[in-house]
Amino acid sequence: MCGITGIARFNHREECENKVRIMNQHIEHRGPDAEGIWAHDFCVLGHRRLSIIDTSAAGNQPFLSDDQSLVVVFNGEIYNYIELRKELENTHTFKTQTDTEVIIAAYKRWGIDCVEHFFGMFAFALWDEKQAQLLIARDRLGVKPLYYAETEHGFIFASELRAILSTGWVERRIDANAAADYLRYQTVHAPNTIIEGVHMLMPGHRMIIHSKGIHTERWWDLTDSRVRLDGSEPKESIHKRVNELLQSSVELRMRADVPFGAFLSGGIDSSIVVGLMSRISAHPVNTFSITFNEQAYDESPYSELIAKRFNTKHTAIQLSADHFLRMMPEALQAMDHPSGDGPNTYVVSKATRDAGVKMALSGLGGDEVFAGYDVFRRMKALETKQWLNSLPLAIRKNAGSLLRVLKPSAAAEKIAAALAQERVDLAHFYPLTRQVLYESEVNRLLKFRPVENNCVELLAQAVSGIRMPTLSKVSVLEISTYMQNVLLRDADQMSMAHALEIRVPFLDHRLIEFVLGVSDKHKFPHTPKELLTASVGELIPREIIDRPKMGFTFPWAVWMKNELKSFCEEQLQALRQVEVLHHEEVMSLWGRFLAGDQRITWSRIWPLVVLGHWVKQHDAH
């Protein structure tokens, strides 16, 4: 796990070397173990290293082939590097034990199609002197980020947005349409970012950059790559295959030459990861959990149950709600791209890294892949409500308006918005499920009329016209929107703020490709994540499977009206400098929240607080 930077297609090499050096400084937290820069007349590549595999200096980057015709900078891990190394030894003489060198060897053998052979999370840039081209690629699920901008001075790319901004070649202007996306979903969906002119390379995509231009193409597709099952497969064979894929995924992600462990909340997903790790490891697994004195937030009875069951070397990091509260400004300071979520990952990552661990496995992705959220239940129930489409749209709109009056709440607003859609179906209803502020509020906050909802466009591209089970379609939508643009982005920026690598076994592409082909009858509506828990047999106890879902349920509304009130107001005031926002409408929302308007919950205000902090920190406008 590291950070990469670079500039290509420029005019002044010396200036670009200095710019890449500055970019490296801005992502030093991602890789405190080593730094490197390589310069050429076409591109300059930079790297910050967090050594996980082959920690010797031989693995430092930029990494050059023996004849120096190939140069790579790489962020992430190729988990199947040992298997690939054996396959490539007849055409490449290896000098290190790194997975970085495997990228070089694989490129020699397969060219740009080398990415199709990699199991892992990665973003890398590889210069090919003979072809006179730069290849930039991103992993299938988008676990590792890659930002870029085309400017008059050159093509810039980096692992973090702050590095792009540090060049001074991009105006720090908030993108108008991205602002609308953020107001709706507390994030900006890739390929856009909050800054005008800066984009993200999409998951499963690669770019080829040469003197004649830039070519971008998709090399892996979430829906096209799924396993085609016909629904007649016996559940025993389904469970057996899921179990095999899970064990393989965890085993590959335990490859490291440094101390590692796992996050253990005591929920289904993290408990299964720890259980599988314990089966594989010859030594007790290091596990880490956050505990609280306040019983309403504390999951320690469940995490301790799993730690005892698998004899882990367990570290319970006890925090008070006040301590968590005091860490909030620090967590926001670490945020590279604004997001309405993430402080909890910052806290557990800091505690884990302080314990001497450089890599940790996480249960992230289990809910999205195995239908663990309530949204799956709601979308499945929608199949029985198609009769609503027989009602005239005007009647449905009036019913929604009446509900708003009779029961003013955030939930009523969402139902009313759903009834006002052209059709009541998955394609029209899903985009509302994760929406924070609704169109009427977004329109009041913005000084322009926003474009069509970007999430709707992503949805249409993801599942329109595709025949697959309903719950699999919802998985595709969750993965393509909320998971990639909130959860994974937050996990990366909050863990790498502490130079901690997070690995996510549930996002093994082989596992996802298989589970997307499994029929709904194996996933729902029996018990929580029925397919997942049945596939691992008696690995985890019923107390974990049947426990209520908790998470960090802190009293945010109380804090924001008391201890955090002045902090929130300071950040909201910073939004005055954002050209696309009506600041008086921002403060109106804040006033309604303070007055107790049930339609304006804390979760609808907090993303604005975060945005204000980010704008002030990065001097954006």
pLDDT-derived band at 453, boundaries 50, 70, 90:
confident
Rounded mean pLDDT of 184-206?
A: 96
Which of 102-106, 392-396, 524-528 is modeled with the greatest confidence? 102-106
Lowest mean pLDDT among 69-73, 96-100, 252-256, 348-352: 348-352
Q: Answer yes or no: are the C-beta atoms of 257 and 519 closer than 8 Å.
A: no
Q: Answer yes or no: are the C-beta atoms of 206 and 135 closer than 8 Å.
A: yes
Res 84 pLDDT > 90? yes
Res 125 pLDDT > 60? yes
pLDDT at 219: 97
Rounded mean pLDDT of 581-599?
A: 94
Res 483 pLDDT > 70? yes
355 phi, psi to nearest 5 deg:
-85, 5
DSSP letters for 24-88: HHHTGGG-BSEEEEEE-SSEEEEEEE---SS-SGGG-SSEE-TTSSEEEEEEEEETTHHHHHHHH
The residues, ordered by sequence, that sit 6+ positions from 573 with a Cβ below 8 Å of its Cβ are 612
Res 327 pLDDT > 80? yes
pLDDT digits over 367-386, tens only?
A: 999 999 888 888 888 778 87
255 phi, psi to nearest 5 deg:
-80, 115
pLDDT at 298: 77
pLDDT at 186: 94
Lowest mean pLDDT among 55-64, 239-248, 364-373, 404-413: 404-413
pLDDT at 325: 80
pLDDT-derived band at 450, boundaries 50, 70, 90:
low
pLDDT at 451: 64
Which of 117-131, 444-458, 593-607 is modeled with the greatest confidence? 117-131
264 three-class SS: coil
554 phi, psi to nearest 5 deg:
-70, 160
pLDDT at 621: 95
Based on the residue annotation, tell me whether 2 is a catalytic residue of this protein.
yes
pLDDT at 389: 73
Res 263 pLDDT > 60? yes
Q: Position 472: which residue type?
A: S
Rounded mean pLDDT of 608-614?
A: 97
Res 548 pLDDT > 90? no
pLDDT-derived band at 428, boundaries 50, 70, 90:
confident
Single pTM value for the model: 0.94
Widest distance between CA atoms in the chain? 74
Res 457 pLDDT > 70? no
pLDDT at 175: 95
Catalytic residue among 2, 16, 114, 455: 2
Q: Which residue has the tokens 């973003």?
A: 123
Calculate the dihedral angle through the C-alpha atoms of 370, 373, 379, 382, rounding to the nearest 10 degrees: 130
Answer with the residue of higher pLDDT: 199 or 340: 199
pLDDT digits over 389-401, tens only?
A: 777 777 887 777 7
pLDDT at 434: 87
- Show the domains of the chain with their CATH numbers: 2-218 (3.60.20.10), 235-371+479-545 (3.40.50.620), 555-621 (no CATH)
DSSP letters for 469-518: -HHHHHHHHHIIIIIIIIIHHHHHHHHHTTT-EEE-GGG-HHHHHHHTTS
pLDDT digits over 553-582, tens only?
A: 667 888 899 988 999 999 999 999 999 999
pLDDT-derived band at 313, boundaries 50, 70, 90:
very high
pLDDT-derived band at 526, boundaries 50, 70, 90:
low
pLDDT at 366: 96
Res 238 pLDDT > 80? yes
In angstroms, the CA 510 to CA 314 distance is: 30
Res 552 pLDDT > 60? no
Q: HSE, CB side, 13 Å, CA atoms: give it for residue 191.
A: 14
pLDDT digits over 17-67, tens only?
A: 999 999 999 999 999 989 999 999 999 999 999 888 878 888 888 999 999
Q: What is the mean pLDDT of the chain?
A: 90
Question: 297: closest CA among 318, 315, 312, 314?
Answer: 318
